[in-house]
Every structure is written in C-alpha cells, then in structure tokens.
Structure 1
Amino acid sequence: MTDNADTQNPGRTDATQMLALYPEMAGKVAVVTGAARGMGAAFTAGLATRGVNVVGADINADQMAATAEEINTALAQNSLADRPGRVVGSSVDVTKAADHEALAQAALKEFGRIDFWINNAGIFPFALVEDISPEQISAVLDVNVEGVLFGAQAAARHMAPGGAIVNMSSVSAVRNRRGRGAYCTSKAAVAHLTQSLAVELGDKGIRVNAIAPGYIDTEMTRWVQDDPVALANALDAVPLHRIGSPEEVFGPMLFLLSDSARYVTGHSIAVDGGSRHV
C-alpha cells in the first residue's frame, strides 16, 4: 500500500484503496457483525469487491439493509470488481447466542456455506473507574466479549476445516486509557479469548486471530478528531503521526482470512501506527 498521508496535514487519514488480491477467496462466504457502518461496512465492501459473498449483520436492521444496498450498487459500477460477491443484510443482537445461530443459518440458506466470520460489533463506553456502573460493565462485557464468544461458537458449528475467524480487539487491550476502564478490560478479554479459541478450534482446522486497531477514522473516534487538544495528544502517541483509516485495518484482516495466513492462528495484529510502542 502506498502511504498518501498529507505532509502538510499529518493528522489526515490515508483512505487509498488496498490493492492486495487473494484470488482463492472468490466464491467464499463471510459473516460480518456490526456491518452497518464504520469498519464493519468497510470490511463488508472490501470482501465483496474480491468476490466474497457476505452476510452483513447489525442490531440496526434498517441501516444494515441500506448499507447492503449501497455496497451492491457500488459493486455493480466498480470496474475493479471483476466478479464481485453479493451482500445480504441481516439483523443480530450479538449479546444473544440464539441470534448468532440464526445468523449462521441465514448464511447457509443464502449461500450454502460459511468460510469466514468477523466478530466486529462493539461498544466504546466512557466512565472514570469510580463511576463505572454495574449496567455499563455488564453491557460492555455482553457486547464486546460474549458477542465474540457466541459468534465464534456459531461459526465453529458450521465451518469446514480451513475456515477462519477474526475478532476485533484493540490496542486498548495492552494500554490503559483514562475513562475507558470497562472498554480496555473487555478488549483484553477478547485478546485472551482469541488465544483460547485458537487452541481449541485448531482441532477442527479453524484458525482464530484478532485485529487490534489504534486510532482509526470512524464514528467511535470522532470525538478525538473534533477536539484539537485530544487530536494533538493522540497524534503525539502515534509514531506515524496520523489517524488510520478503516481500509488500513481491512488489509491485515484480509491477510488473516487468506491462505497466505494458513499457518497463523492465536495472534492479535496491532494496526495502530506504532502507538503501542510509545
């Protein structure tokens, strides 16, 4: 990938299209949760561009349906997508194990198989440690941790050997952020759960890895970019001195799903501009 960051505006996101191609992925089937917007929508569009059929799921069914239609329309007009996949929208409450199984069944009914499962849905609450309520800690663990576990369980029941699961962790799994105690705890749990899943699901020939993003240009980090002081502090903590783009998270995720990573499992790949080293 070529880095087109603006040297006059070092905070600028590089959203150039990733050109990495994995021809073996065409015709395969992926499930992506939290796919209505942000990184989930970028993952869904990127996979479909490369010929993967995708069931995108979100708790906001209407927004998911609109996103699926938008992606399918764009694919029909995209000259780079030789044989694009198809995106089908679905609803899911990731805190409910039954919803994950229903999602798996929907993918099987629509496309006949499941090769990839991306546990992307998550929430990003704020509260100082003394103010974390029982409701907040329960909610963040339900969505960010149980949602990953239930998704992996559903995927494992229906994947053939060679399948791959990618979970969304965060650099917050290894760094403390003031006011994000509940969130950091949940992402540390995701990182460890990924290792546990990799050990046990390896018996079935299923690989499990995680992506650990840093500051990425999504609605979840919009508050940073809208606050000049917060943005300056964030960029000081990033050796590349800019915010990342969803496309730059998609590239490593695509690698983890591909045959190029067929001997890679149980790892969390940081996509953070080097911030975990500062």
Structure 2
Amino acid sequence: MTEQSNPGRVNRELVTAAYPELPGKVAVITGAARGMGASFAAGLARRGVHVVGGDINAEQMADTAREIQAALAAEGVTAPGRVVAAAIDVTDADQHDQLARRALTEFGRLDFWINNAGIFPFALIEDIAPEQISAVLEVNVSGVLYGAQAAARHMAEGGAIVNMSSVSAVRVRKGRGAYCTSKAAVAHLTESLAVELGDKGIRVNALAPGYIDTEMTRWVREDPIALAHALDSVPLHRIGAPEEVFGPLLFLLSDSARYVTGHAIAVDGGSRHV
C-alpha cells in the first residue's frame, strides 16, 4: 500500500542512521517529558548519548526517563546512554544554567543543547490577550535564548545547539498568530546565535517541523476537516512522526554537519511549498 493510498498512516519506523562519534557525548533537551522531546531523548540514548531531560512537569519527566531506560534494556540495546530527569521552567534564565550544571555534574561534559520546549496557543488575532502573547514569547522565544546562553557558557568548542522553529515561521495559520510570530522569531534568533557563537566554535541550527503526530497536534487527526486540509497541504499526503524529525536532528548534532550553522531545516513533507 502506498503512502497516498493510506494517507492517515504515520511512519514510526526507527531512524537507522548511526554516527560513531556520538556515544559518550552529552545532550540537554528541554520539554523532554513527552512528544518530540521524549522521542529525541530516546533516540539519542539508543545511540549511547547521555541525556539530561528537562521539563516543567518534573514528575512526568522522571517517568519518561524511567520508561526510556526500561525500553532500551528490553530491546537489548548495547551501551545505551543514561537519561537523567530534571525540572525546568524555561522562562527562568537561571534554571537553564542549573540544567547545564546538572549535565556537567552527572557526566562531566556538555556537547549538545536542544531547545525543544514550547507552547501552541490558539486565538484569532482580535482575541489574542496580552497574557497569551506574553506567555508564548516567554516560552517559545526567551526560553530558546536563555537555553542558548547557558549552553554557550558551559559548552566547549565543537558543541551544537538545535532550536525548534516550525513551518509556521513561514506559513500563516488562522488562530495561531502568536505561535507563528514566536516561531519566526526563533528562526531569526537562530541565525543571530549562529553568527555570534561561531566565534566560540559552537554551531546553531533549527528544525522547522510541519504536521507531526504529537499531543500538541493531535487535534488535527481528531478533526476530519482539519486532517483533510492538512493532508491537502502536504505533498507527501501524510502526517509526520517524531521519529522523522529525529533523523535531521541527529544529522545536525553529528560531525557530518560540522560546517552547517545558521540554518532552519524544514521537516514538513514539503508543505511550505504548497
């Protein structure tokens, strides 16, 4: 059965790419308790990368860390990375530094920082409240800046930062004005960080996912009209999976991307071109 004859299919096959330089390295991931953040943590740990997963929901983060370790053990993964859970409110700059120090305390190094935490509010333009725009900019933009600052203070030359932008940075969606604005800011902030942190030998890139099957976008699959619209706007005619965002992330962290910085890689099934 082809993808087009089964448009509701989500491809959750594990990414098979392996980079032999990654085992033993250390990554910090914010918003790692669920969704793409949890998928990133599991994928990196499967490849021997140690992970400090931070989330505002400390209890859920601890559960996720245990579940990842148990799943890797059940799979018989050889020498997996260790996943450590930590609490973080990404709107607090000091807590990012605490997360970085946790990585150094637990593992003695910090190689990668993934600014994944974000919120996805809905409101038509005339209804966007001051509280909503302030919250989305604090979490989605300031949280990225604070994370990058902490990474730059504690990361050695050769490190890599990956921010989560979105196809919404270049495509407008009704009711998501605050969110789209924040993700456009992340894309541009990524370029600024890349220019300034290049002096430290730190690369900074972003991922720009489209419709990905996570809790944040589950409403799309549950609404037939929204799902039909989404599939019409995706040339591959299916919703993406977190595992399919992990592949480009893995590349950006690897030595294969050692001369790639300041870019946002779209992982959207081609939807930005429709």
> By the TM > 0.5 criterion, same fold?
yes
The structure 2 residue matched to 1:145, chosen from 126, 129, 141, is 141
How far 1:78 moved relative to its partner? 1.9
CA distance in 1, matches of 2:164, 2:40: 12
Shift of 1:277: 0.2
2:87 paired with 1:91:
yes
Aligned-partner residue type, residue 128 of structure 1: L
* Partner Cα separation in structure 1 for residue 3 and residue 13 of structure 2: 12
Percent identity of equivalent pairs: 77
Q: Are 1:216 and 2:220 counterparts?
A: no
Q: Deviations over 1:53-79 (max 9, x none)?
A: 000010000000000000011111223
Alpha carbon RMSD of aligned pairs, Å?
A: 0.9
2:26 maps to 29
Q: Which amino acid aligns with 1:10?
A: P
CA contact (8 A) 2:169 2:183 kept: yes
Asked if structure 2 preserves the Cα contact closer than 8 Å seen for 1:35 and 1:121, the reply is yes
Measure how far apart 1:9 and its partner are.
Answer: 2.0
The answer to whether structure 1 residue 117 and structure 2 residue 113 are counterparts is: yes
Q: Which residue of 1 aligns with 2:243?
A: 247
1:186 aligns with 2:170: no
Task: Measure how far apart 1:7 and its partner are.
Answer: 4.8
Give 2:19's aligned amino acid: Y
Aligned partner of 1:17 among 10, 14, 17: 14
Residues of 2 paired with 1:77 and 1:264: CA distance?
A: 36
- The one-letter code matched in structure 1 to 2:7 is P
What do residues 101-153 of structure 1 show as CA deviations (whole Å, max 9, x unaligned)?
Answer: 11111111111110000000000000000000000000000000000000000
Structure 2 gap segments, 5+ residues each: none
In the TM superposition, residue 8 of structure 1 has moved relative to its aligned partner by 3.7
Which one of 108, 111, 125 corresponds to residue 129 of structure 1? 125
3-state SS of paired residue (1:117) = strand
Residue 166 of structure 1 corresponds to 162
Report if aligned partners of 1:5, 1:12 keep a CA contact under 8 Å in 2. no
Amino acid at match of 2:31: G
Counterpart secondary structure, 1:24: coil
Kindly provide the amino acid, as one letter, of the partner of residue 20 in structure 1: A
Spell out structure 1 runs of 4+ moving beyond 3 A.
4-8
Deviates more, 1:111-120 or 1:81-90: 81-90
Determine if contact 2:17/2:247 at 8 Å carries over to the other structure.
yes
Q: Is the CA contact (8 Å cut-off) linking 1:5 and 1:13 kept in structure 2?
A: no
Instruction: Give, as a single letter, the amino acid of the residue that structure 2 aligns with 1:24.
Output: E
Residue aligned with 2:75, SS: coil
Which residue does 1:48 correspond to in 2? 45
Amino acid at match of 1:143: V
Distance in 1 (CA, whole Å) between partners of 2:15 and 2:98 is 32
Contact 1:127/1:181, CA 8 A, preserved across alignment? yes
What residue ranges of structure 1 are gaps of 5+ in the alignment? none
Q: Secondary structure at the match of 1:118?
A: strand
Matched positions, count:
274
1:38 corresponds to: 35
Deviation at 1:175, TM superposition (A): 0.6
Displacement of 1:20: 0.3
Partner of 1:77: 74
**2:8 is matched by which residue type in structure 1?**
G
What is the SS of the residue equivalent to 2:188?
helix
Per-residue CA deviation, residues 173-225 of structure 1 (Å, 9 max, x unaligned), is: 00100000000000000000000000000000000000000000001111110
Check the 8 A contact 1:209/1:265 in 2, yes or no.
Answer: yes
CA offset digits 1:156-186 (Å, max 9, x no partner) = 0011110000000000000100000000000
Partner residue of 1:57?
54
User: Aligned partner of 1:44: which letter?
Assistant: A
Please give the alpha-carbon distance, in whole angstroms, between the structure 1 residues aligned to 2:12 and 2:70.
20
CA distance in 2, matches of 1:140, 1:244: 24
8 A Cα contact 1:5 1:14, kept in partner: no
CA contact under 8 A between 1:122 and 1:143: conserved in structure 2?
A: yes
Deviation, 1:31, is 0.2
